[in-house]
Copies of this chain bind each other. A is one copy, B any other.
């Protein structure tokens, strides 16, 4: 969670001598509530899909809808925040993979790890597809990692060379859909890794 704007982070007149900068931190209990809401939302979405009602999320978090809306002006915004977290997590995983010496192994590891994470939050990640996929900079930072991951694997001859980043992302989308139906993520990951291998490896 780095980029998304928090409420109360802007505006409001300065009351202390400090001229500019940090615009007064969120009140302690409020921050706690915000976190609770986020957790509740994550759980609710991944259990019941995108159609959970805001009120249910609020109840689950033990707050009123008003509080929910104070923190996230819109259902969309709430989902976006969740998506943001998922993506940040993904970037970290990708970096870990990039730090591995063996390109092919790193690629496989990344796929397996992603499948595993999806299995523990299938509904959730499945839900991000509805987000405005306008070229937001957040996506691109992950795209850039993915790009490098693929390039390395490709150069090492571990994957077919007609696989673009967007193809790969589409495939991950498919993966999450498949995992949402049965949680056999290991099978699916294996299948992907094998299926993406360069064709005709054993003539």
Q: How many copies does the complex hold?
A: 2
Q: Name the interface residues of A164-192: CB closer than 8 Å to any CB of B.
A: 166-167, 169-171, 173-182, 184, 187-188, 190-192
**B173 and A181 contact, CB distance less than 8 A:** yes
Cβ of A105 within 8 Å of any chain B Cβ, yes or no, is: no
> Which chain B positions have C-beta within 8 A of A163?
187
Partner-binding segment picked from A27-35, A137-145, A194-202: A194-202
> Which chain B positions have C-beta within 8 A of A196?
191, 195
Q: Size of chain A's interface in residues, with CB distance under 8 A? A: 32
**B178 and A174 contact, CB distance less than 8 A:** yes
> Which chain B positions have C-beta within 8 A of A166?
181-182
**B202 and A188 contact, CB distance less than 8 A:** no
**A167 and B187 contact, CB distance less than 8 A:** yes
Query: Which A residues lie at the B interface, using CB under 8 A?
Result: 129, 162-163, 166-167, 169-171, 173-182, 184, 187-188, 190-197, 199, 201-202
